Amino acid sequence: MTFHNLVIVAAVAAGIPLFIGMTRAPVPGPVLEIVAGIVLGPAALDVLHVDATVRAAAVLGLGFLLFLAGLEIDVRRVVAGPAARPVLLGLAGTIAAGLVAGEVLHAAGLAKSPLLVGIAFMATSLGLVVPVLKDAGAADRQIGQLTIAGASSGELTAVVLLSLFFSQRGGALGGRLLLLGLLVVLVAAAVTAVVQARRWQRLSGMIAMLADTTAQIRVRLAVLALVGLAALAEHLGFEAILGAFLAGVLLRVVDPDAARRHPNFHVKLEGIGYGFLIPVFFVSSGVTFDLDALLDHPATLLRVPLYLALLLVIRGVPAIAYRGLLPAREVVAAGLLQSASLPFIVAATQIGLALGAVTPTNAAALVAAGLFSVLVYPVVALRIIGAPPRLPPTVMASAAMLDPM
């Protein structure tokens, strides 16, 4: 194990917030981290590679990304509130549009597996949308909750469908459906067990006493839930990110008022995720982008704007379902944010390549479209909302010291 490449990644992760603070660039940090990975990786300067150390941290980063995204979901508001119907209507529109798009691309000779391509278009980069909305101060507003709920439903649906139909372990669909049901039952049992344990005063008092000591017991229990459910999902034949996301949802369900009752808990989790692991994932995603496969076949470049437009149609247009709850301009912004997708596209194309369900050139075009979607759509959405990305307090303070005017 070496730390050479991880040092470069850490330097990028530390330098980008400083760059944003000094230049006041209206670009989300994760976008610049991906671009930095492309520039420093084999596609350009070739000074950064994804070795075993970086790969391990990136896998944990992706898990933490989905875990923190699940932690953002207010299930009571989404399921029982006025947002439930429009979110489900939007999801239904996304599924239908994705399946139709896959069949059309297959008929045109642009997709080897129409189902795989259709599923790839259904997801949103939830891990990018959440920090963008948080930094813009919109995560707790109606547009934030609807967008996060819509992005979550798309991400979760895409992960489940990918696991069901394109599991690298194979197996009959009926068997995988039974395993999915088992996973849901086990998660529900875990929720029930945690709720019952919280009623045990001695245990609750012990957790409260150890929470802010070197034991950091709440953080350790949260990490246990994340790793445990990720491992369980993987053991049952699903993607580990499904378990990580469910772990975040589980914690939000069992302790919906955690942000108010013990606010330091979320700050600590975000410190681990956004402070270390998640930037590794974003930078490594840029490093592994296959630019040669894209440039070696010029005709493939023409597919990039097509796929970029399809992301907007499949993920963005269904946001029309929110029009009864949001002003028109915020509906457009929500649609643009939901159209930003990269991590799932990367995962789906890698699985497709392993199964022979997607060609290398088409995989490169899909990933390129995903990259442009996270570069363009969130920036345009923030301008529509009228709230540029808000820097963390420490970065804002540093920028103020550099420019007192």
Average pLDDT over residues 26-53: 89
Q: How many helices (H) and strands (E) does the chain have?
A: 22, 0
Task: Give 133 or 275, the one with higher predicted confidence.
Answer: 275
Report the half-sphere exposure of 237 (CA within 13 A, side-chain side): 22
Instruction: Quickly tell me which residue has 């369980």 as its tokens.
Output: 232
Neighbours of 335 (CB within 10 A): 24
Average pLDDT over residues 232-258: 82
pLDDT tens-digit series, residues 350-370: 788 888 899 888 988 998 898
Q: Tell me the two tokens of residue 246.
A: 């469910």
Among 156-160, 170-174, 344-348, where is mean pLDDT lowest?
170-174
Q: Tell me the two tokens of residue 322.
A: 């929110």
* pLDDT higher than 50, residue 334: yes
Where does 153-294 show beta strands of DSSP type E?
none
Average pLDDT over residues 105-109: 92
Query: How far is Cα 351 from Cα 238, in angstroms, rounded to an integer?
Result: 12
* pLDDT higher than 80, residue 402: no
Model pLDDT, residue 26: 67
Task: Taking the CA atoms of 366, 367, 368 and 374 in sequence, report the sign of the dihedral they define.
Answer: positive
Among 65-69, 84-88, 334-338, 393-397, where is mean pLDDT lowest?
393-397
Which of 89-103, 162-176, 260-274, 281-295 has the highest average model confidence (pLDDT)?
Answer: 89-103
Query: How far is Cα 204 from Cα 289, in angstroms, rounded to an integer?
Result: 47
Query: How far is Cα 266 from Cα 345, in angstroms, rounded to an integer?
Result: 28
Q: List Cβ neighbours of 187 (8 Å cut-off, separation of 6 or more).
A: 229, 246, 250
Model pLDDT, residue 399: 33
Q: Tell me the two tokens of residue 299.
A: 């005709």
Query: How far is Cα 156 from Cα 148, in angstroms, rounded to an integer?
Result: 12
Please report which confidence band the pLDDT of residue 259 belongs to, taking 50, 70 and 90 as the band edges: low
Is 370 within 8 Å of 146 (Cβ atoms)? no
Q: Residues, the chain, total?
A: 405
Q: How far is residue 142 from each of residues 82, 145, 380, measured CA to CA in Å?
A: 11, 5, 19
Q: What's the per-residue H, E or C state across 46-74?
A: CCCCCCHHHHHHHHHHHHHHHHHHHHCCC
Is 97 within 8 Å of 113 (Cβ atoms)? no
* Phi/psi of residue 38, nearest 5 degrees: -65, -45
Query: How far is Cα 121 from Cα 307, in angstroms, rounded to an integer?
Result: 9
pLDDT tens-digit series, residues 381-395: 988 887 554 444 333
CA-based Rg of the chain, rounded to a whole angstrom?
Answer: 21
Query: How far is Cα 235 from Cα 237, in angstroms, rounded to an integer?
Result: 5
- The angle at the Cα of 77, spanning 271 to 377, to the nearest 5 degrees, equals 60
DSSP code at position 392 = P
Which helix (DSSP H) or strand (DSSP E) does residue 203 occupy?
helix 201-210
Is 22 within 8 Å of 402 (Cβ atoms)? yes
Is 61 within 8 Å of 277 (Cβ atoms)? yes
* pLDDT higher than 90, residue 95: yes
* pLDDT higher than 90, residue 152: no
Query: How far is Cα 343 from Cα 221, in angstroms, rounded to an integer?
Result: 26
Q: Tell me the two tokens of residue 146.
A: 């609807």
What is the per-residue DSSP string for 299-334? HHHTHHHHHHHHHIIIIIGGGGGGTTTS-HHHHHHH
Report the half-sphere exposure of 32 (CA within 13 A, side-chain side): 18
Report the half-sphere exposure of 53 (CA within 13 A, side-chain side): 12
DSSP code at position 113 = -
Please report which confidence band the pLDDT of residue 97 belongs to, taking 50, 70 and 90 as the band edges: very high
